[in-house]
């Protein structure tokens, strides 16, 4: 199957630089990230997941904005592109399950997450970088803050990793005074 990202990569040997549409990428072993994640978790516990989420969030926001400009994509097109790109850069096979802009809901399943495979068995979801990318993407599409959860994870023994991203309600009614 064709891989439009690999086909579009440019290589600058003098700089040791790979780029797609002039956005730099690097290849890194999943074990490197898993070791980093476990080291941060040993220091910070659950907070580590939120920090990794922030890293993914930044990448997702920047990519969604950049490729929307480059290709002139609509909301749905940029989500579909990012899901296809996820697979093409080796982050697992992304399947868009739900994109409902009016409800502010994005659901994506990822098969064979390299983050989960490298991490090994766990009691909670471990794919914080994917969760962050999808959170950053969704916040750009919905134009509002979101909450992103990995409700199933390969590392927990689930068949796939499943991410549910919900707009955080801004129209909460407060009672009392
Ligand atoms: Zn996972």
Closest by CA position to 113, among listed 81, 79, 152:
152
Residue (of 127, 136, 122) closest to 162 by Cα position: 127
126-165 confidence digits (pLDDT tens): 999 999 999 999 999 999 999 999 999 999 999 999 999 9
pLDDT, tens digit (0-9, with 9 covering 90-100), for 25-57: 999 999 999 999 999 999 999 999 999 999 999
Using DSSP, state whether 9 is helix, strand or coil: strand
Instruction: Kindly give the distance from the C-alpha atom of residue 131 to the centroid of ligand 1, in angstroms, as a whole number.
Output: 9
What is the Å distance from ligand 1's center to 60 Cα?
17
pLDDT at 169: 72
C-alpha 161 – ligand 1 centre gap (Å): 4
pLDDT value of position 18: 98
Return d(Cα 74, Cα 120) in angstroms, integer: 37
- Find the 150 Cα to ligand 1 centroid distance in Å: 7
- Tell me how far apart the alpha carbons of residues 85 and 20 are, in angstroms, rounded to a whole number: 11
Q: How far is the CA of 13 from the centre of ligand 1 (A)?
A: 34
pLDDT of residue 170: 62
pLDDT (average), residues 106-135: 98
Please list, in sequence order, all residues whose beta carbon lies within 8 angstroms of the beta carbon of residue 81, skipping any fewer than 6 positions away. 67, 71, 73
pLDDT at 52: 97
Angle between helices 75-88 and 128-142 (to 10 degrees): 160
Residue 120: pLDDT over 60: yes
Determine the distance separating the centroid of ligand 1 and the alpha carbon of 124, expressed in angstroms: 9
CB 87 within 8 A of CB 160: no
Q: Give the chain's mean pLDDT.
A: 94
Strand pairing class (146-152; 105-111): unpaired
Give the chain's count of helices (H) and strands (E): 6, 7
Tell me the C-alpha to C-alpha distance, in Å, between residue 90 and each of 5, 16, 39, 43, 101. Answer: 10, 20, 23, 29, 27
Model pLDDT, residue 1: 78
CA of 120 to the centre of ligand 1 (A): 10
**Distance from the alpha carbon of residue 158 to the mean position of ligand 1, in angstroms:** 9
pLDDT above 60: residue 172: no
Q: Helix, strand or coil for residue 131?
A: helix
**Confidence category of residue 171, pLDDT binned at 50, 70, 90:** low
Residue 174 has pLDDT above 70, yes or no: no
Of all residues in the chain, the percent with pLDDT exceeding 70 is 95
Q: How far is the CA of 39 from the centre of ligand 1 (A)?
A: 18
């Amino acid at each position: 199957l064709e891989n439009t990202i690999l086909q579009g990569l440019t290589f600058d040997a003098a700089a040791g630089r790979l780029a797609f549409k002039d956005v730099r990428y690097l290849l890194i072993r999943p074990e490197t990230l898993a070791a980093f994640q476990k080291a941060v978790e040993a220091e910070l516990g659950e907070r580590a997941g939120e920090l990794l989420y922030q890293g993914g969030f930044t990448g997702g926001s920047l990519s969604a904005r950049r490729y929307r400009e480059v290709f002139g994509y609509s909301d749905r097109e940029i989500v579909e592109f990012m899901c296809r790109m996820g697979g093409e850069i080796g982050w697992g096979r992304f399947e868009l399950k739900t994109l409902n802009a009016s409800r502010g809901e994005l659901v994506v399943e990822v098969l064979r997450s390299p983050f989960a495979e490298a991490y090994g068995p766990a009691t909670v979801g471990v794919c914080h970088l994917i969760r962050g990318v999808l959170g950053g993407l969704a916040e750009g599409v919905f134009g509002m803050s979101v909450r992103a959860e990995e409700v199933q994870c390969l590392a927990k023994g689930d068949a796939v990793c499943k991410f549910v991203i919900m707009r955080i309600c801004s129209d909460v009614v407060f009672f009392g005074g």
